[in-house]
């Protein structure tokens, strides 16, 4: 009798407390106490920062933080990405474009209180010249032999021996504080290893905390010359996979999700408090052809680069043009990107203000037309002489069989390859796809041991870099396939020496046209940058460039400066609450006590029972 009543009592207690837990738990989930009254904007990302020293390995997240923490000499215009006042409020140049004089803003302070002067700017540019290797040298136009001086606190002078438009690109060089960085001059390794947290800068936010693999945090600069941000802090949270990040957006743990894959967008449709944003980006996917010839020489002796293994048929532009005509780029956008992107054409993206649009200019060289492709190949003598469905090269008798590398580390490479392979079969070419890791691909690339590969590029606001990859000089460095065209090389130098942007534009157009017509590479698709945000929290996101550039992870911190919380019934508190969930401490204690009580009761009951048990 005793045992039964003990068990009954235990059961009653259990039921009573259990019924309380869901109530306590769900209440906890809806009204947690915010630990501070700060306005915090939380962004979910899938890429952690790698190294926040400007001289370290710079991934997308590093660049975003640098653009919030530091200012540029001349900023990007939010709408067009042309040069706009930055730390320099105005500038002049001489007739020859060899002396550029900048008037530097007064009253700007570093986040540690030290005033900013033109000396910091001169220091930064000289530091970059003296401390290779680094990616900023490309902005300075080394061949123009620049010198950088600051005759007084408010004047900065960029002088060159040859004419240059480099300052107007604008030069994307983060301006660094001399009093912090001067000790690293000439020592790239030390500059790269400098942790830079907290980061001293003049930008609208400064980096105060970084927990690798988890999150990093920036606080606002209340005295920012470009306007005080409304929000107090920006927190970037790192997610290993996008599904969890999207879930966190739905539960409200993050306010913004950056870099979502196309297949997840439909899961966000129809959710009232989430808005998706498909931003045009400069990221493209391309099929590059191996065009190396022994006459070009090789920088990497011993890698086997002296004996080309690329199919010589690809050196004939007719073959390449035919391949481009056989590829249905729209179908690639629809099937591989699920419609989230646009058809590729030149090496610059439609977002770019320097973009030359073949369609608008009546150039149909790469329009999808497999019948025309077949015709061209027939007329040029590429016939299938032995009936195996594959055309042969009349010059060498070799069949048009190609090996294209597809990158296993790239999300779209192998899908794109499969489509291309089947289309090229229809015009009499046999393609073998070879999956390789990025590192293996680089090895094969240096050895010129491929016919083509499917990879991609991400551009910069100034077109110079993307134009340079088709110059002869860049063979074995940035050239995808060692394309060599003396006329193109000449134009490249001309656009670098142009005296005004108006003079430069037609040259840049012409260069794009040459690449579009000669097809050293087929630019297949431009990818969109997919973003999503809670529309019941903040408002005032600014796309850059307009009209459909990304809202954040663009070329400047405009959105972060501009966003404000939406007024809600609960007041401005809304954006900071409900970001954390979980059971409160009280509930946990109750659960633990309960478990112990149950265990204790069970053991008590058992020992009493077995006492009565006779062996």
Partner 1 sequence: MGAWKYILKKFFQAFLTLLFVLAVNFFLFRVLPGDPAKSVARSLKLSLEDTQKLRVEFGLDQPVFPNQFVLYVENTVTGNLGTSYITARPVSEAIATRVWWTLLLVGTSTVLATGLGIIVGIKGAWRRGGTFDVGSLGVSLTLYSMPEGWLGMMLLTFFAVTLHVFPAGQAQSAPPPAGAIPQFVDILNHLFLPCLTLTLGYIGEYSIIMRASLLETINEDFVGTARAKGLLDKNVRRHHAVPNALLPIVTLVVLNFGYILGGAIVVEYVFSYPGLGAFTVEAINANDFPVIQGVFLLTSAAVIFANFIADLLYVYLDPRVREV
Applying CB under 8 A, the residues found at the interface with partner 1 are 25-26, 29-30, 35, 42, 50-51, 53, 56-59, 132-135, 137-138, 188-189, 192-193, 195, 209, 211-215, 217, 235, 237-241, 243-245, 247-248, 250-251, 253, 299, 409, 437-440, 442-443, 446, 465, 476-478, 579-585, 588, 610, 613, 615
At 256 the three-state DSSP class reads strand
Taking a C-beta distance cutoff of 8 angstroms, is the pair 32, 577 a contact? yes
Residue whose CB is less far from partner 1, 410 or 418: 410
Which residue do the tokens 């195996």 mark? Answer: 388
Q: Which residue, 195 or 383, is less far from partner 1 as judged by CB?
A: 195
Considering the complex, state which of residue 474 and residue 512 has its C-beta at the smaller distance from partner 1.
474
Q: Minimum CB separation from partner 1 for residue 599, in Å? A: 11
Minimum Å gap between C-beta 287 and partner 1 is: 18
Q: Give the nearer residue to partner 1 in terms of CB position, either 249 or 420.
A: 249
Q: How far is the CB of 124 from partner 1 (least distance, A)?
A: 18
**Count of residues making up the chain:** 615
Q: Which is nearer to partner 1, 51 or 283 (CB)?
A: 51
Q: How far is the CB of 200 from partner 1 (least distance, A)?
A: 19
Pull the structure tokens for residue 265: 């967008």
- Taking the complex as a whole, the smallest distance from the CB of residue 428 to partner 1 amounts, in Å, to 34
Tell me, rounded to whole angstroms, the distance of Cα 150 from its chain centroid: 34
CB contact at 8 A, 275 and 535: yes
- Residue 156 burial (CB count, 10 A): 29
Quick one: CA torsion of 479, 483, 487, 493, rounded to 10 degrees?
10
CB neighbour class for 451 (10 Å; exposed up to 12, middle 13-18, buried from 19):
buried
| Residue 17 and residue 590 in contact, taking contact as beta carbons nearer than 8 Å | yes
Closer to partner 1 at the Cβ: 269 or 613?
613
Residues 6+ apart with CB under 8 A from 487: 514
Compute the least distance from the CB of residue 166 to partner 1, in Å.
Answer: 16
User: Cα separations (Å) of 194 from 56, 59, 178, 180?
Assistant: 9, 17, 14, 10
CA-closest candidate to residue 480, choices 466, 462, 461, 463: 466
Q: Which is nearer to partner 1, 31 or 539 (CB)?
A: 31
Q: Which is nearer to partner 1, 109 or 250 (CB)?
A: 250
**Cβ nearer to partner 1, comparing 31 with 94:** 31
At its nearest, how many Å lie between partner 1 and the CB of residue 267?
Answer: 11
Instruction: Give the list of residues 6+ apart from residue 319 with CB closer than 8 angstroms, or none.
Output: 313, 377, 380, 382, 400
Tokens matching residue 204: 């609208």
> CA-to-CA distance for 166 and 145, rounded, in angstroms?
12
Report in angstroms how near the CB of residue 235 gets to partner 1 at its nearest. Answer: 5
Q: What is the DSSP letter of 574?
A: G
Cβ proximity to partner 1: between 5 and 36 the closer is 36
Asked if residues 177 and 120 have their Cβ atoms less than 8 Å apart, the reply is yes
86 vs 67: CA distance, rounded Å: 12
Give, as one character, the DSSP assignment of residue 77. Answer: P
- CB closer to partner 1 out of 220 and 320: 220
Q: What is the full DSSP assignment across 503-538?
A: HHHHHHHHHHHHHHHH-SEEEEEEEEEEEEEETTTE
**Is the CB of 138 or the CB of 332 nearer to partner 1?**
138
Indicate the helix (H) or strand (E) that contains 85: strand 83-85
b/e per residue 110-144 (b: at least 16 CB within 10 A): bbeeeebbbbbbbbbbbbbeebeebebebbbbeeb
Cβ at position 502, least distance to partner 1 in Å? 28
Q: What minimum distance in Å lies between the beta carbon of 591 and partner 1?
A: 10
Contact 454, 413 (CB under 8 A): yes
Q: How many CB atoms lie within 10 A of CB 192?
A: 17
Least distance between partner 1 and beta carbon 128 (Å): 12
CB 247 → partner 1: shortest distance, Å?
A: 4
């Amino acid at each position: 009798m005793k045992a039964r009543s003990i068990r009954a009592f235990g059961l009653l207690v259990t039921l009573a407390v259990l019924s309380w837990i869901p109530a306590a738990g769900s209440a906890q989930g809806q009204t947690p106490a915010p630990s501070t009254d700060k306005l915090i904007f939380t962004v979910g990302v899938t890429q952690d920062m790698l190294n926040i020293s400007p001289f370290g390995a710079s991934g997308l997240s590093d660049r975003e933080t640098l653009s919030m923490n530091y200012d540029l000499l001349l900023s990007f215009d939010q709408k067009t990405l042309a040069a706009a006042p930055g730390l320099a409020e105005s500038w002049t140049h001489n007739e020859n474009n060899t002396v550029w004089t900048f008037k530097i803003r007064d009253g700007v302070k570093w986040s540690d209180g030290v005033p900013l002067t033109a000396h910091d700017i001169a220091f930064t540019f000289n530091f970059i010249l003296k401390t290779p290797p680094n990616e900023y040298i490309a902005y300075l136009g080394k061949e123009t032999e620049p010198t950088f001086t600051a005759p007084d606190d408010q004047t900065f002078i960029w002088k060159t021996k040859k004419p240059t438009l480099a300052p107007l690109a604008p030069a994307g060089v983060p301006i660094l504080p001399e009093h912090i960085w001067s000790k690293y001059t000439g020592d790239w390794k030390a500059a790269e290893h400098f942790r830079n947290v907290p980061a001293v800068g003049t930008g609208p936010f400064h980096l105060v905390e970084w927990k690798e693999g988890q999150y990093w945090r920036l606080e606002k600069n209340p005295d920012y010359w470009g306007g005080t941000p409304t929000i107090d802090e920006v927190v970037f949270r790192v997610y290993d996979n996008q599904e969890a990040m999207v879930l966190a957006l739905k539960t409200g743990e993050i306010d913004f999700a950056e870099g979502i894959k196309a297949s997840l967008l439909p899961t966000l449709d129809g959710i009232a408090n989430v808005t998706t944003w498909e931003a045009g980006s400069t990221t493209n996917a391309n099929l590059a052809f191996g065009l190396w010839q022994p006459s070009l020489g090789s920088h990497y002796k011993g890698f086997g680069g002296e004996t080309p293994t690329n199919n010589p048929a690809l050196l004939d532009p007719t073959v390449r043009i035919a391949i481009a005509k056989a590829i249905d780029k729209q179908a690639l956008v629809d099937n591989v990107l699920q419609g989230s992107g646009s058809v590729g054409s030149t090496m610059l993206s439609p977002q770019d203000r320097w973009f030359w649009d073949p369609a608008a200019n009546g150039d149909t060289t790469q329009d999808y037309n497999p019948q025309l492709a077949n015709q061209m190949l027939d007329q040029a003598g590429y016939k299938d002489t032995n009936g195996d469905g594959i055309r042969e090269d009349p010059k060498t008798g070799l069949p048009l069989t190609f090996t294209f590398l597809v990158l296993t580390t790239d999300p779209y490479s192998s899908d794109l390859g499969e489509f291309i392979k089947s289309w090229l079969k229809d015009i009499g070419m046999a393609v073998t796809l070879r999956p390789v890791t990025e590192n293996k691909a680089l090895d094969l690339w240096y050895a010129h041991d491929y016919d083509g590969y499917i990879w991609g590029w991400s551009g910069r606001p100034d077109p110079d870099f993307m134009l340079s990859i088709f110059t002869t000089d860049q063979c074995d460095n940035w050239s995808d396939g060692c394309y060599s065209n003396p006329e193109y090389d000449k134009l490249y130098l001309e656009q670098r020496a142009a005296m005004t942007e108006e003079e430069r534009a037609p040259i840049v157009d012409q260069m794009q046209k040459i690449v579009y017509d000669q097809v050293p590479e087929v630019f297949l698709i431009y990818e969109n940058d997919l973003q999503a945000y809670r529309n019941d929290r903040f408002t005032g996101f600014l796309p850059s460039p307009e009209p459909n550039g990304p809202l954040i992870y663009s070329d400047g911190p405009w959105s972060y400066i501009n966003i404000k919380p939406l007024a809600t019934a609960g007041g401005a508190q809304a954006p900071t609450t409900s970001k954390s969930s979980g059971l409160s401490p009280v509930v946990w204690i109750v659960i633990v006590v309960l478990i112990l009580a149950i265990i204790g009761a069970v053991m008590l009951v058992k020992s009493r029972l077995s006492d009565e048990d006779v062996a």
